[in-house]
Amino acid sequence: MKKVIYTPLVLFCILFSTIDFYAQEVGEKAPEIELTSNTGKKINLSDLKGKVVLIDFWASWCGPCRRENPNVVEAFSKYHKSKFSNAKGFEVFSVSLDKNEQAWLEAIKKDNLTWDSHVWDKSGVFAKQYHITSIPMAFLIDGEGKVVAKGESLRGMGLHVEIEKLLK
């Protein structure tokens, strides 16, 4: 039997990748995101602490994303001022993976994405941190910043079902 010897660097990489992977799992705190908004200012995900937040990774060129946008708009309109068990209000934190800024800005207007938190991850740094391999991809976080749902469960009426679970 061959004995495997791990160097400290290999052990560090294994540990680091494991910690990063679980950082956005249900029950864990959502990693911080700080990006430039559509208005040119820096926005942090943590600025929305105390609210239920949908982190929505999308792009203007993504057909499924654009088809899901009316559902997200409806959820925002319905729950924006709601009171939750550990939060007050619902916000959407839109993270665009567009390469073309103008296409991103036009999609915000065309799809009537009326919330304030639109950010542009043009280099894909946060998409990598959140292990985004396809879009649309979303994470629902509670008022304490913990992930309570993610992925396919947040598409269509599933988004409304998951938000309803958090109401008072």
Spatial distance between the Cα atoms of 150 and 139, rounded to a whole number of angstroms? 4
Spatial distance between the Cα atoms of 138 and 65, rounded to a whole number of angstroms? 10
The residues pairing with 84 across neighbouring beta strands, listed in sequence order, are: 87, 167
CATH number at 8-164: 3.40.30.10
List, in order, residues 6 or more apart from 71 with CB less than 8 Å away.
155, 156, 157, 159
Report pLDDT for 2: 54
3 pLDDT above the threshold of 80: no
9 pLDDT above the threshold of 50: no
- 12-27 residue pLDDT tens: 444 333 333 434 688 8
The answer to whether the pTM exceeds 0.75 is yes
Report pLDDT for 168: 83
- 130-149 residue pLDDT tens: 999 999 999 999 999 999 99
> In this structure, are residues 19 and 131 in contact, taking their beta carbons and an 8 Å threshold?
no
- 50-83 residue pLDDT tens: 999 999 999 999 999 999 999 999 999 999 999 9
> In this structure, are residues 131 and 21 in contact, taking their beta carbons and an 8 Å threshold?
yes
Phi/psi of residue 105, nearest 5 degrees = -65, -40
